[in-house]
Copies of this chain bind each other. A is one copy, B any other.
């Protein structure tokens, strides 16, 4: 069993829950409300910027030139995807740049980005790169699964085409290969940290979608949380 197969086995339940989320089911059959998708795509833009930063930071620590190029290339690619998808959906839904600029990052998105950047900043390379894997892997698996059943007139077909497509698949495969190579040389302690980072990022993936579906922002103190008098 490869190391990434081990990672998959240890997170099977959570990853299945992500596939089964109402957001993804509604995306698949095209019934997802445009308001929810708009909110999601704005958060995704915030996310992809942070994701690109974390990929770049990890690239700076890669063990050899090929991996620097791969991770830096994925960083540049994440920004490019973000722009294309945005231009498409902002046009489709009539979202303006001002709508986008005026929408604050959600707590779930911000926590995920902070986790990735922290892993890349103070974790070693194996930890950094494994924290970055779920976003590649889960998006591809969701994209491919949805693509099998989605109809041509699905308003979200551009999103589905991006994440089920050949170009993204190749970048995911290179990440899987990189994590497996790194794991081969890693001590047991390092592998344990890789498992932990992977599990945490899978949790953040779930929270990202869950939060987008419920259009959550930042939790605020409720009156009952404050003692008065």
Query: Is A65 an interface residue when CB atoms closer than 8 A count as contact?
Result: yes
Interface residues on A, range: 35 or more
Bound CA span A168–B47, Å: 30
Across the interface, which residues of B come within 8 angstroms of A52, CB to CB?
Answer: 59, 65, 68-69, 72
Q: Which of B17, B21, B65, B225 contacts A17 (CB 8 A)?
A: B225
Given contact pairs A52-B68, A111-B111, A117-B118, A20 touches B228 in the complex (Cβ within 8 A): yes
Query: Is A221 an interface residue when CB atoms closer than 8 A count as contact?
Result: yes
Across the interface, which residues of B come within 8 angstroms of A25, CB to CB?
Answer: 227
Q: Which of B71, B123, B225 contacts A22 (CB 8 A)?
A: B225
Q: Which of A33-41, A73-81, A137-145 lies at the interface? A: A73-81
Bound CA span A107–B107, Å: 12
Query: Is A1 an interface residue when CB atoms closer than 8 A count as contact?
Result: no
Bound CA span A203–B21, Å: 29
State the oligomeric state as a number of copies. 4
Q: Chain B's nearest CB lies how many Å from the CB of A62?
A: 8
- Closest B residue to A114 using CB positions: B114
- Name A45-104 residues within 8 Å CB distance of B: 48-49, 52-57, 59-62, 64-66, 68-69, 71-73, 75-76, 79-80, 82-83
| Among all A-B residue pairs, the 5 with the closest Cβ atoms | A121-B121, A114-B114, A69-B79, A72-B75, A56-B59
Q: Measuring CB to CB, which residues of chain A are less than 8 angstroms from any residue of chain B?
A: 14, 17, 20-22, 25, 48-49, 52-57, 59-62, 64-66, 68-69, 71-73, 75-76, 79-80, 82-83, 107, 110-111, 113-115, 117-118, 120-125, 185-187, 189, 200, 203, 206-207, 210, 218-219, 221, 225-228
8 A-B residue pairs with Cβ-Cβ distance under 8 Å, sorted by A, are A14-B221, A21-B227, A52-B59, A56-B57, A65-B83, A68-B76, A73-B73, A110-B115
